[in-house]
Amino acid sequence: MEFRMPEYTVNYEVNKQDPYPLLSEGMRRVIDYQAENAKDAFVTDCSWDELRAKYVQERRFWNEGGPEAFKTVETTVEGPIGPVPVRIYYPDDAPVHHGLVFIHGGGFTVGSVDTHDRMMRSVMASSGCAVIGVDYHLAPEAKFPIPLYESAAVTRYFHEHGEEFGILPDKMAIGGDSGGGNLALAVNLYLRDVFGGNDYIAALLLYYGSYGMMDSASYRLYGTELDGMRKADMAYYISCYLDPEAHDEENPYFVTLNNDLTHGIPATYLCCGDLDPLLDDSRALEHILRVHGVRTQFDIVPGALHAFMHYGRMMDEAVQCLKRSGEFYKSVVEG
């Protein structure tokens, strides 16, 4: 008998269950709509300008409706490679508000304050705070750590100069979705470690973020072409974000689970769908924070794919999570 290794290929997708039968009613409506109206929105075999334009067009539909801002203000904050555009959403005409810095997702490569407009208005309404949207420069043109530095610069600026915009300097929050969730946690850690403390950050609002788990049960079970979250998709976005010559694959301000999470972490809200490959990232983070005495709230949404919080026009779950996250921050401020 001859023992030898047969020819083989590594396949991360073949054992995954078809997620469609597991979707909630609202999530299924979203997927059916996308199949008819935006099936090529996330395909990357085109130029960056085309990809970003498709993403903007696809998100335009989902941003219709929702709470209205009393006013918005456009400004810029100086960053390491030039001005960073910022949009501030105000819920009412009160003279001062607490401030939430919101960092949008999109795999670090697409997205803007426009593509996440409804999400920011929704958190503004439920929290009663002013939401400060950061239009950081995108990869691959601006690789890590530039988006981190820019988001930290915006947060520091409004802590130091917020009174000029009617924003209180203390009890601020930082939030973000997906890649923006990664950046939100990283900004909090960066402010703690580099700028003499982050006592003015009172809360983190983290929606289905990536915190460094490159393999886990949820990675193996979930993530398909329905949400653009196959292992190859995520590897592609990371390759655009990280400079291979910098060797930042384990950098604790990118892989935030590698950082010291035993101190300097404020009250934290987390939310993730139970069909999201990033679910175990949130599970691990929430467990670590809870063990170290951090106040947490973790909502796991049945039948929801990655990025579901964009889809409030068809998914009550998205509306409710944005409402609960804003109420969480409001309770921290008032507590």
Dihedral angle sign, alpha carbons of residues 69, 73, 75, 77: negative
281 is catalytic: no
**Residues 132/86, Cβ–Cβ less than 8 Å:** yes
Q: At 145, list the tokens.
A: 């750590």
Backbone angles phi, psi at 156, to 5 degrees: -60, -40
* Residue among 62, 42, 28 nearest 311 (CA): 62
Q: Report the relative pairing of strands 267-273 and 172-177 from DSSP bridges.
A: unpaired
Active site residue 98: no
Q: Which of 135, 227, 233, 276 is catalytic?
A: 276
- Reply yes or no on whether 306 is catalytic: yes
Tokens of 88: 């501030």
Dist CA 281 CA 303 (whole Å): 18
Query: Which residue carries 């009663």 as its tokens?
Result: 128
Mutual orientation of helices 117-127 and 316-334 as an angle, nearest 10°? Answer: 40
Beta strands, E only, 91-148: 99-103, 130-134
Rounded Cα distance between 214 and 115, Å, is 27
The amino acid at residue 89 is Y
108, 264, 136: which is closest to 195 by C-alpha?
264
- Rounded to 5 degrees, what are φ and ψ at 100? -115, 120
Residues designated catalytic: 178, 276, 306
